[in-house]
Amino acid sequence: MFLKLILMPVLAIGLALGFGLSGANLVIVAACSAVPASSSGYAMARQMGGDAPLVAQIITLQTILAAITMPIAIALVA
Number of domain units in the chain: 1
d(CA 52, CA 71): 29
pLDDT tens digits for 37-58? Answer: 888 999 999 999 999 999 999 9
- In the prediction, which pLDDT does 8 show? 94
The residue range of the domain holding 11 is: 2-77
pLDDT < 50 positions in the chain: none
What kind and span of H or E run contains 70? Answer: helix 52-77
Closest to 57 (Cα-Cα) out of 36, 72, 71, 78: 36
- In the prediction, which pLDDT does 39 show? 87
Model-wide pTM > 0.85: no
- In the prediction, which pLDDT does 35 show? 92
Closest to 33 (Cα-Cα) out of 55, 9, 64, 62: 9
